[in-house]
Amino acid sequence: MLINNDTIIKDDDERIREKSEDVSFPVSKEDKELLMEMMEYVDKSTNEEIAEKENLRAAVGISAIQLGIPKKMTAIIIKDDEGNKVYEYALVNPKIVSQSIEKAYLESGEGCLSVEDEHQGYVYRSARVKVKAYDLLKEDYIEIKAEDYLAIVLQHELDHFKGILFYDRIDSNNPFHKEDNAHPIE
């Protein structure tokens, strides 16, 4: 499947609001191939030269529903300033099993491959989460203990499984209000 900015469904497409279904095990060849293509998209999207040539928008994650496929699969790659991979997951059926009461938010706001318009405001999420999933890269079940940026990325991607977009979580009456138990992430 070709994945680029033209094939990623946007928020004006009702499919983005569909609930995603669990993936059956063993993971099918088609699902494995799709998830690896999603990983490749995320990896290549942060290389400016490749991104421009192949019509990719920079991303740290993508979920299958963003391709119109309502399955609980997500690809996440977070790199450091030098372009080295710090976190890399190809997750099948990820599920948050615990989360902190303390909140965190991205000071610059969140973005999404499926959202082209700017939506300003803070998206408050748990500062720490524990996620259980099958990781196709390790070909095993894993538990991720994430905090701050990685925790936000995981929650953002898992929201897609419920048809929730980041701007649904912005307070429309007061988008930049400060919550007492929340800390900013730059």
CB atoms within 10 A of CB 138: 10
What's the pLDDT tens digit per position in 40-59? 999 999 999 999 999 999 99
What's the pLDDT tens digit per position in 153-172? 999 999 999 999 999 999 99
The alpha helices in 3-137, defined as continuous H runs, are 29-45, 48-54
Whether 7 is in a domain gets the answer no
Full residue range of the structural domain in which residue 128 is found: 14-185
Q: What's the rounded Cα separation, in Å, for the pair 37 and 64? A: 10
Query: Does 157 qualify as catalytic in the annotation?
Result: yes
Q: Of the residues 33, 116, 157, 179, which is catalytic?
A: 157
Q: For residue 173, what pLDDT is reported?
A: 93
Residue 144: which residues within 8 A CB-CB, separation 6 or more? 89, 129, 130, 131, 132, 133, 150, 154
* Three-class SS state of 85: strand
Whether 133 is in a domain gets the answer yes
Q: For residue 132, what pLDDT is reported?
A: 98
pLDDT category at 1 given cuts 50, 70, 90 is confident
Q: For residue 83, what pLDDT is reported?
A: 85
Whether 5 is in a domain gets the answer no
Whether 136 is in a domain gets the answer yes
Q: What's the rounded Cα separation, in Å, for the pair 110 and 125? A: 11
**Domains held by the chain: number:** 1
What's the pLDDT tens digit per position in 94-106? 999 999 999 999 9
Whether 120 is in a domain gets the answer yes
* Three-class SS state of 105: strand
Whether 91 is in a domain gets the answer yes
The residue type found at 110 is E
Q: Percent of the chain having pLDDT more than 90?
A: 92
Question: Are residues 92 and 169 in contact, defined by beta-carbon separation less than 8 angstroms?
Answer: no
pTM of the predicted structure, to 2 decimals: 0.95
Whether 9 is in a domain gets the answer no
Q: What CATH number is associated with residue 147?
A: 3.90.45.10
pLDDT category at 11 given cuts 50, 70, 90 is very high
* Three-class SS state of 61: strand
Whether 4 is in a domain gets the answer no
